[in-house]
A and B are shown apart, each in its own frame.
Chain A
Amino acid sequence: MTVALRTRAASRVGPTAAVVLVGLVPLAFLAVFFGWPVAAIVARGVVADGTLDLSGFTEVLARERTWEVVGRTLAQASAGTALAVLLGMPGAYVLYRCRFPGRGAVRAFVTVPFVLPTVVVGVAFRGLLVEGGWWGFLGLDGTFTAVVAALVFFNYCVVVRTVGALWSRLDPRAEQAARALGASPLRAFWSVTLPSLAPAIASAASIVFLFCATAFGTVLVLGGPGYGTVETEIYQQTVTFLDLRTAAVLSVLQLLVVTGCLLAAAVSRRRRESALRLQSESTVDHRLRRGDLPAMAVTVAVVLGLLVAPLVSLVAGSLRTADGWGWGNYTALSTTGSHDALEATVWEAALNSVRIAVDATLIAVTIGVLICIVCSRRPRRPAARRTLSAFDALFMLPLGVSAVTVGFGFLLTLNRPPLDLRSSVVLIPIAQAVVAIPLVIRTLLPVLRAIDERQREVAGVLGAGPARVFAAVDLPVLGRSLGLAVGFAFAVSLGEFGATSFLSQPDRPTLPVVIVRLIGRPGVDNLGMALAASVVLAATTVVVIGLAERFRIQTAGADL
């Protein structure tokens, strides 16, 4: 009887048993390295001396500082999101609906800030806004405005690319019909185009809000003394005040914010996917017209003023030493800074970063690929389908969790028995992998899901067993996108700061950790070194992503 049952199950193209086995590995990984730490955070917040105790919550929530921090986090995220959308809409129009020479280069350039490590973004704006910087006269150093500007810099391309991707394929005939019925261009945009774009705008806005609310490196570098958001406050409470309970309560608050954002993003994504009438891109765009001038002007201003200026100022600043222009800051990277600001040289930290990134990439891609394989199965039995969608939801959980929460959770759980990884070389790579896995999944899963199930059926009928079906149908597709996933994972890990800041050891720092330490120390030399190190980190990241992009194939759905 059992034999008959097993072969019956095997008559599906997707072999249930094998899929379950493949799924167990990532399940176990995420249970230990995500579920446990998060559970420990929650437990730390609500359990004291082995009993349920909510006094920690009431106590933390009664503090004025808590509400100040929560209020600033929400205000910062709201302002960043609103500005990114307002400035990003003309950008999406100009870069995806208009045709002009150099459009491809500009499109590629606006993506650069998004892939830059958050610490580098912070340093670039700091260099622009400090006294003596190009925009130092504005007196914005350490202010709310400075942080919001950096967040818009970072997230501008999320809006441009998400909205632009939909806009470029929107059937223009709906708008033309409205014009023929007597609507002015503005009226036609307002009543026809904008509602069609709404799902993409909502989707982009919820993602940007999530990034702004969980921004850590940028805020830590740019915010002045006393400037705190939930993320930086968790870090300060843990590292400076050793108040783990307050940090835990704040982490739980942060988890709630993140979950809310993810739900909003999921709902709007589903609405976006319930397809509008879409065209292939080339039929829709037009050459620049006079009416496009306002949008063009806004976009030029944003690209030059907000995106180009900080980057140019960063590079310029890194070449500026006490004795004028020169490579001094770069040669100083082989030292530990003035007044021995560091315990290792910057190049040693860079080498350490690369080593960690290699390990983290290996872990993230392995686990990510396994998750994608499981989640792209489409079993025909209702019971198997239900199990799989539960799996799917489970794997998506870490998708938006903040890196700080990961780092803090690791600190609570993996730094002590039964699993003491404190001095282990895999601790930081694992933490960075947890942060990078969602990106790997977002890169690979849409590609695997786009495979028509009947491809697998045809291969099966032609005599291929489950393993050979996978090799013949899934593997070639997976292989072509793997380069991109590897690149993303490597870049994320290289620039990762939130989780690493909790776990890094002074004598073995990573590049972002070193940059933050340098910028926190007095001395023009140290600032110059921080700028030079940021340029090195930024250049490496951009090159890695650029190489990975070459492996990219056209996929529907993977818009970031």
Chain B
Amino acid sequence: MTGPQGLGVRDLSVTFGQTQAVDHVSLDVAPGEVVALLGPSGCGKSSLLRAVAGLEPTRAGAVSWDGDDLADVPVHRRGFGLMFQDGQLFAHRDAAGNVEFGLRMAGLAKPERRRRVGELLELVGLDGQGRRSVATMSGGEQQRVALARALAPRPRLLLLDEPLSSLDRALRERLTGDLHRILRRTGTTALYVTHDHDEAFAMAHRVAVMAAGRLLQVAEPRQIWQRPADESVARFLGYRWFVGVRALRAAGADVDAADDATVALRADSLRLSAGGPLKAVVLDASFSRGGTTLRVDVEGLGELEARAFGATELAPDAVVALSLEPEVALLPGAV
């Protein structure tokens, strides 16, 4: 087989002693595509990434690029890029020296190296700061240098291992946007490991949800969000209550789904609305992120959570009306 097919992972297993870190995983990443590996810590996503890089010995299975098996290609000849959570910059080189490293390894001439370093520093928003010592840079700046270093040799595939996890929330949200823009603009093919679903959904064309060494579901973000493959995927995404379609209809809600399907609910799924079809008694109310989170006892469904927006004073025992969000998350079959 020839032609651009990108990364192919077939039936890959990685073991540490008795532990099966990666358990017969198969996954493709097409050229130009960004795939996020999403899962809780310890699920094997970093091991899978390291095996793709050639840093982790594999027990079984194959990693290929454009159809060519990579088993005999050592780490430094795979032409991949790698970015760690904590940058791992070379402390004894300045920012430009770090970015330049891969270009020197590739044997580029000095003028070209200099041009490319300038280009990359500009891309990550650090133009003119190449001579700075990396030790004096903030965490966000260090991650930008790490990204520039990884992108400089134009890797066939960029591997990112929780690249934003060590940053504080505000910085992380800003860099998520920047990283998304940079990956799209450069058309980089990437495998992005994260445990944060907001980050995964924002960054990736497709998301692969992983748990206990296995892939549970691989799909586009919207698909994953609205049609989780099963309860464990849904729970990982933050869905906390599972209610049968029949029960919801009996309680008064209008759901567009098969009779035997299950609806996955989180606090945001139910909204306080004057003419809503569901009747509930407020048990408890607490302020959160621009609204109020209510613990409610819904008639016919039991205890759930709902959200209210606007300056509504809600005392316990108040009787309220709720409506369901228009596009609910559905699981096939009963849970």
Contacts and interface: CB of A to CB of B under 8 A. Distances in A.
Interface of A: 4, 7-8, 10-13, 380-382, 452, 454-455, 457-465, 468-469, 472-473, 476-477
Q: Which 8 pairs between the two chains have the least Cβ-Cβ distance?
A: A463-B105, A462-B102, A461-B82, A11-B74, A460-B75, A7-B72, A476-B92, A454-B88
B78 interface: yes
Contacts of A459: 90, 101
A457 B105 contact: no
B75 A13 contact: yes
B228 interface: no
20 contacts: A7-B73, A380-B56, A380-B57, A381-B57, A457-B75, A458-B82, A458-B84, A458-B88, A461-B76, A461-B78, A461-B80, A461-B81, A462-B76, A462-B101, A462-B102, A462-B105, A463-B79, A468-B105, A472-B90, A473-B90
Interface string B73-106: 1111111111010001010100000000110011
Given A380-B57, A382-B17, A462-B102, A8 B76 contact: no
B82 A11 contact: no
Given A11-B72, A382-B17, 12 more contacts: A11-B73, A11-B74, A454-B88, A458-B149, A461-B53, A461-B76, A462-B102, A463-B102, A463-B106, A464-B76, A465-B74, A472-B90
Contacts of B105: 462-464, 468
Contacts of A469: 76
Given A382-B17, A462-B101, A462-B105, A452 B74 contact: no
Nearest to B72: A7
Contacts of B92: 476-477
Contacts of B334: none
B76 A7 contact: no
A382 B56 CA distance: 12
Contact of A455 (B17, B78, B79, B88): B88
B213 interface: no
B8 interface: no
Contacts of B247: none
A461 B157 CA distance: 11
B54 A11 contact: yes
B60 interface: no
Nearest to A5: B72
Contacts, number: 79
Contacts of B78: 461
A472 B90 CA distance: 9
Given A455-B90, A458-B84, A459-B101, A465 B76 contact: yes
Contacts of B150: 462
Contacts of A4: 71-72
Residue among A13, A455, A458 with max Cβ neighbours from chain B (10 Å): A458
A454 B84 contact: yes
B163 interface: no
Contacts of B101: 459, 462, 464, 472
Given A457-B55, A458-B88, A10 B74 contact: yes
A476 B93 CA distance: 10
B324 to A, nearest CB: 47
B153 interface: yes
Nearest to A461: B82
A464 B107 CA distance: 11
B58 to A, nearest CB: 10
A5 to B, nearest CB: 10
Contacts of A477: 92
B152 to A, nearest CB: 8
Contacts of A457: 53, 55, 75, 82, 88
Contacts of B88: 452, 454-455, 457-458
Interface string B20-49: 000000000000000000000000000000
Contacts of B76: 460-465, 469
Contacts of A460: 55, 74-76
B322 to A, nearest CB: 48
Contacts of A472: 90, 101
Contacts of B149: 458, 462
A483 to B, nearest CB: 16
Contacts of B106: 463
Contacts of A476: 92
Nearest to B161: A454
B17 to A, nearest CB: 7
Nearest to A13: B75
Given A455-B90, A476-B92, A463 B84 contact: no
Nearest to A452: B88
A417 B66 CA distance: 64
Contacts of B82: 457-458, 461-462
B47 to A, nearest CB: 11
Nearest to B101: A462
A473 B90 CA distance: 7
Given A452-B88, A462-B105, A8 B56 contact: no
A433 to B, nearest CB: 30
A463 B72 CA distance: 15
A549 B71 CA distance: 47
A7 B74 contact: yes
Nearest to A455: B88
